[in-house]
Structures are given as C-alpha cells and as structure tokens.
Amino acid sequence: MKSKKNDEEKIVNRLKKLASLIKKHNFHYHTKDKPLISDKEFDLLIRENQNIEKEYPNLVLKNSPNNKIGSKIQNKFKKIQHKSTMLSLANGFDKQDIYEFDERIKKFLNYKGNVELEYLCEPKIDGLSLNLTYLNGKLNSAATRGDGSIGEDVTNNILNIKNIPNELKGNFPNIIEIRGEVYLNKSDFENLNKNLEQKFKFANPRNAAAGSLRQLDNSISQSRPLNFLAHGLGFCSEKYKTLVNFYEDLNKWKILPNTLRKKVSSIDSIMKYYNEINNLRSNLDYDIDGLVIKLNSIDNQIRLGIVGKNPRWSIALKFSAETARTIINSIDFQVGRTGAITPVARLNKVNLGGVLISNATLHNFDEINKKDIGIGDLVEIQRAGDVIPQVNKVLKKNKSKKSKILPPQFCPVCQNKTFKEKNEAVIRCSNKYECKAQKIGQLTHFISKKALNIDGFGEKQAKQLFELNYINNPSDIFQLKQYRDLIISLEGWGELSFNNLLKSIDISKKITMEKFIYSLGIRFIGEINSEIIANEYKTIDDFLLSSKNNENLYNVDGLGPKAISSIKDFFSFKKNIELIENLKKHILIQESNKQTKNNFFTNKNIVFTGTLNTLSRDEAKHLSKSVGAKILSSVSKNTDYLIIGEKAGSKEEKAKKLKVKILTENEFVKKIKD
Ligand code: IVH
C-alpha cells in the first residue's frame, strides 16, 4: 500500500510541476508574446501532461492546464445575478413544428377563428448570450448567461465592442436589461486562428468568441474583434407594448439589433423568410444555425409565460445539419438507463463539420427497417448541434445477406427477454430497473453534470464500483466510506483520489428540487419536465403524494401524458420509493422557493368546469398557480371554489350538494387579476 501511495504522490507532483511550467510558458507566449522555449518543447510538456491525465483520470488537478490551454480562461469572474432569468429556446425543425407552436399560442390566449399573430423573426446567431444592465442610462454591468440566473461579470472585457455604448442617449427606462449575442465574424476568426499556434487554435468562431470574452486578462478580450447584436429584453422598469417598439429604442441608443430581422404575420411568410435566410447563410460573415421567431406583443408574452426554461412565446427554427458519407462496419446494441436497446452503428471514421465521427445512433429497429440500413452499407450521416450523429439514409446497399440487422430477442447485457410496447418503436429489456446495464445507467445519470454533478466520478468509476458490489443503487454512493481501504488499493485509485471523491460527494449533497428530480432518471423527465415539476411542488414529498393521483399530474401545466404515465410507472416500483426515502437521509433537497403573489385564491383549492370564454383553460390554470392556488380535477368537500364556464355539468350539481362556493368565469377573472 505504501508504495502505491508513493507512486501516487510522484504522479501528482509531476502533474503539479507540468501545470506550473505550462502556465509559465503560456504567459510568456500569450500575454508577453515572447516565448522562452521552442514550440516543440512546449508541445512535449502538453503531451506529457495529457498522457498522465489520460492514464490517471482520478489524479487530474483541479487547475489542470488542460482546462485552459492557450489562455487564462478560469472561473474566477465575479458573479452577477440577472434581474430576470435568461431563458433557452425550444427547437423546431419544419413548417409543422411552427404551425403547432402558433396553434399552442392561440389556444393558450383563447384566440378563435382566423387570427394571425404578429411575429418578429431574425437569424439565430451561433455565439454566446450577454446581458447588459443599464442603470439610469449608464452601463452598469455586462454578464454572461451562466446558469440563467447567475452569470459572470465580463464588464471590463466588452469595453471595446462598438455596438455596446457606455451611455444611452435620449429617453430610457431607469433600469433595463438588454440581451444579445456576442460573436466573431468568420473572417476575424480565420485571422485570429492564423496567428495562433496549432495547439491553441479554436475549433469554430463560437468557441473563439467564448474564449476571447472569458479572458481574465481583459486586455486580451479587448484586443479581439468581438461583435454584439441585441436580440432581447430582460427586466425593464418601463413597459414596452411590442418587441418592434423595443427595437426602435435600441436603434436610437445605437445598440443595433440585426438588420435582417423581419416582422411577419403568417406561417407561410415565416417559411418564406426561412428560405431567404437559408439561401443567404453561406454569404453571411457570421455563423447562424436557424431563425428565432418571437411573438411581437409583449403583453401576450407575459400572459404566455414560460414552460420549464423556455418561453412559450418563442421558438428557434433550425436549419438542417451538415452531412457526410461513410460505411457501417458493424452494429452494437446499447442498453440504456430506461432499458431501451439502441442499435449503434460503428462507422469508418469520417470528418463531419470538423469533428471525427466513428459512431452513429440508429435509434430503433423501425427506423432500421424503414431506411433499410444494413452492415456494409454506404450511408449518409448527419449531426445537428450537440446531438449524437445519426444515419440519414442508405446511399449504396451492401447486397450480402450478412448485412441484415435483426432485433435482439434477449438483452445483450442481462439476457432477459426483450419486448416492444404498443405504439412504441423501441425494444426494451424486460428486467425493469434490475438489469445491470440499466442500473449502471441509472448510477451514471445520477452522478452526471446536470444531476448530482459529482466531480471525478464518471461512468468508468461507477461501473467499477458496481461490479465490485460497493454500490448497487444511487444511495449507496453516500456510504462509500466503509470501503475506503478496499477502494484505495484498486487499480486507478489511491488515498488522494478517494478523499477527493468523498469531498465531491459531500458537496453534491445540497441540491435543488429540479436537479434532484432530474437525477432520478425517470423516463421522459429530463431537465425541462424536472423544472416544471419543481415549480409545481414545494417538496419532493408533495410530488410523491400528488403523483398517486393521475388527475393531479394532469393538472400540472406543461406535463404531457407520456411523462405522467412514466412517473406513475416509476413510483409503482416499491424499490424506487425506497430509493427516494434513502436518498433523503443523505441529501438536503432545497425546497423550491417559488414566489407567489398574495391573492384571493392563494392556498385555495379550486376546480374548473365548463367552457371558459375570456380565458383558455391553460391560462386560467397558469394564473391560478401564479397566486398559489391548488387546482383539483374533481369537486369534493375540500374544494374551496368551483369556477364555472358555459355548459357546466355534473360538477356544478355536486358543488351545490356539498355547498361548495361557485364563481362564474367573470367573477374569477375579476378576483384573480385583483
Ligand atoms: S432571442 C428566450 N434571438 O439562442 C430567449 N436568441 O437557444 C430569447 N440566440 O440563449 C432569445 N441568436 O443567446 C434570440 N436572434 C436571436 C438569437 C438568440 C442567438 C441565442 C441566445 C439564447 C439561445 C437560445
């Protein structure tokens, strides 16, 4: 054991030495522009560091030079809390998606007949978002998006960006947050890269813009030709009627928005604009990956609110992704966290948009049959954004009989029978929640970045500790201490890495509701649905209790039937309830501190029935929840108010019988808006 400890110490010491050498030479190269050693010598340092890190991932230093090669990108910026959350956007890919988006809005706003809504459309720039705060007309701060609530203070880094004035001229609100995109022109990116040594070159303009903005040495940021285009409004002390009005002010203040923007009012004109911009795309000097479509009326934006992290009033319409051709060498079956068996094509390596690709998902067997995909085929692959590459179509078939891909009848991991659910394309392992692959998948999901985010603990380590029976389910992670001596003596572990792991586990114990829900890995409950649930329930127990009743879940705005049935399924397994109980012993789940306005209906149980006229059911529910009312589906003696629309039926009778107070829609609207 002793010699193991010594070995580990030696490795860490070498890593520390390399980190300090690389840091020193980085500084001389980048900041002073006077390298002390040759490129070759520097390269050797980088390579040695990379090799050691690859071999001993547990010993990687917190300030590994690998994290910040070529610059002083660090996370030591001052934090800034945005006054209103910086949101994300839902994606659409075709006309149908836009049609449905428009229909959803009209339904929510209760617009009937042939109403055409006004939208503002503009290119979606592939950069990073920036939040500018002006107080009494003076630029107070500039912050990156961060996690949407808290960003990094980059005020001193953007001082040279032409389109960001220090002062607003003319009339301005006392407080205003102006949002936009920071980006680099393609030509500037090429020039910047040309002058950087191979190992410091940026992969694309977006990375270059991010790397240039997030420099601790702000003189470097200031020397890079960053651009800014405004595209949104955050908190504002005055009310704008429309986005178009807001953009008029932006023009007056010389914070120019994109001149390619266009106001449109029909799906057809959105699609026409989409084609125009798509044709223009390769001639633009900045990268765009689609359009952003935003409802013009700000009153309506406020009414529509947000679903999870996305506003209901805006959508990104993405351009189709880059493609490449290659050959399928073989097919593997991967069993995921939810038991889904995904066929994965192993490919002849091919370059796709600057990234070397060797695997592509085939999704499921319906897809394989539909596209008639087989081993040895020449295929077209595609990658959109960060998603896993996929096979689009077969370009040339391999005629051999051996090319056919058959669905496995047994799980390739636990050998239990596979099955296919009705109306589902996916084949699953029937050993629900017990198959080894599912368990390891669940563990890996639990510790992943968006869940507990346990540093230094990845799939490899989870697998290793699972195989040795030190962990079997996520709550065992919190009892790893008992295996200290055993783990320390394992391949790839040592005293230091184990202590680091315990520290990271300790840090992860305090967690928000949405992250906790996400970490459970319930099928269909990803980031957005987790956020929706966390917004709905104060505690995890409230959620558990409520999920016993289907109707309660159906009242959660934004939660669809698939998600609901998956939640029911998850909680119908006793082991999953036990898991939550066990986790609660170790983890501190912060109660969601949703702020509600005080109103007549606060803390009241209300039921809606009949057809509402002025409001849609969705909006009525949304408003009720924003004042902390609880919406139930059926009338009981616990109901405080029954709100009746037209053609109210049996619920009204029942309310009368139980002496539940009845309000008309108008009375409801008057009281809720009070
Ligand atoms: S409007 C509610 N307009 O896209 C968010 N965003 O996927 C409304 N983006 O973080 C954003 N170009 O940084 C808007 N013309 C544009 C945009 C744009 C790029 C980015 C933005 C946002 C991300 C969302």
**DSSP codes of every residue in 189-213:** HHHHHHTS-GGG--SSHHHHHHHHH
Mean pLDDT for 179-196 is 93
- Work out the pLDDT band at 63, boundaries 50, 70, 90: confident
For ligand 1, whether the C-beta of 310 sits within 6 Å is: no
Q: Residue 154 pLDDT > 90, yes or no?
A: yes
Q: How far apart are CA 575 and CA 582, in angstroms?
A: 10
* pLDDT on residue 433: 81
Mean pLDDT for 218-234 is 92
pLDDT digits (tens, 9 = 90+) for 76-85: 788 899 999 9
Structure tokens at 664: 């008309």
* pLDDT on residue 48: 86
* pLDDT on residue 72: 40
Tell me the catalytic residues: 124
Q: What are phi and psi of 587, to 5 degrees?
A: -105, 140
pLDDT digits (tens, 9 = 90+) for 91-135: 998 999 999 999 999 999 999 888 999 999 999 999 999 999 999
For ligand 1, whether the C-beta of 243 sits within 6 Å is: no
Q: Both ends of the chain: CA-CA distance in Å?
A: 71
Residue 191, phi-psi category: left (phi > 0), alpha (psi -120 to 50), beta (remainder): alpha
Q: Is 67 strand, coil or helix?
A: helix
- Work out the pLDDT band at 145, boundaries 50, 70, 90: very high
**Helical pair 436-447 and 459-467, crossing angle rounded to 10 deg:** 130
Residues 6+ apart with CB under 8 A from 480: 465, 470, 471, 487, 501, 502, 505
For ligand 1, whether the C-beta of 87 sits within 6 Å is: yes
Q: How far is CA 542 from the centre of its chain?
A: 25
H or E segment to which residue 644 belongs: strand 641-644
Structure tokens at 303: 């009414």
For ligand 1, whether the C-beta of 129 sits within 6 Å is: yes
- CA 324 vs CA 2, 170, 348, 381: distances in Å: 53, 52, 11, 5
Ligand 1 atom with the smallest distance to the CA of 316 is: 7
| Nearest Cα residue to 232 out of 81, 82, 93 | 82
For ligand 1, whether the C-beta of 316 sits within 6 Å is: yes
Q: How far is CA 643 from the centre of its chain?
A: 37
Q: Kindly give the distance from the C-alpha atom of residue 292 to the centroid of ligand 1, in angstroms, as a whole number.
A: 7
Q: How far apart are CA 480 and CA 473, in angstroms?
A: 12
pLDDT digits (tens, 9 = 90+) for 46-62: 778 878 887 888 888 87
Q: Kindly give the distance from the C-alpha atom of residue 89 to the centroid of ligand 1, in angstroms, as a whole number.
A: 7
Q: How far apart are CA 221 and CA 202, in angstroms?
A: 15
Q: Kindly give the distance from the C-alpha atom of residue 617 to the centroid of ligand 1, in angstroms, as a whole number.
A: 29
For ligand 1, whether the C-beta of 314 sits within 6 Å is: yes
Q: What is the pTM of this model?
A: 0.65
For ligand 1, pick from 121, 128, 181 the residue to mutate: most ligand atoms within 8 Å of CB.
181
Q: Is 28 strand, coil or helix?
A: helix
| Surface-to-core class of residue 463, CB atoms within 10 Å of its CB (0-12 exposed, 13-18 middle, 19+ buried) | middle
* pLDDT on residue 557: 76
Cβ contacts of 429-435, under 8 Å, gap ≥ 24: 429/335, 429/339, 429/341, 430/339, 431/339, 432/339, 432/573, 433/573, 433/575, 433/576, 435/335, 435/339, 435/411
Q: Kindly give the distance from the C-alpha atom of residue 119 to the centroid of ligand 1, in angstroms, as a whole number.
A: 15
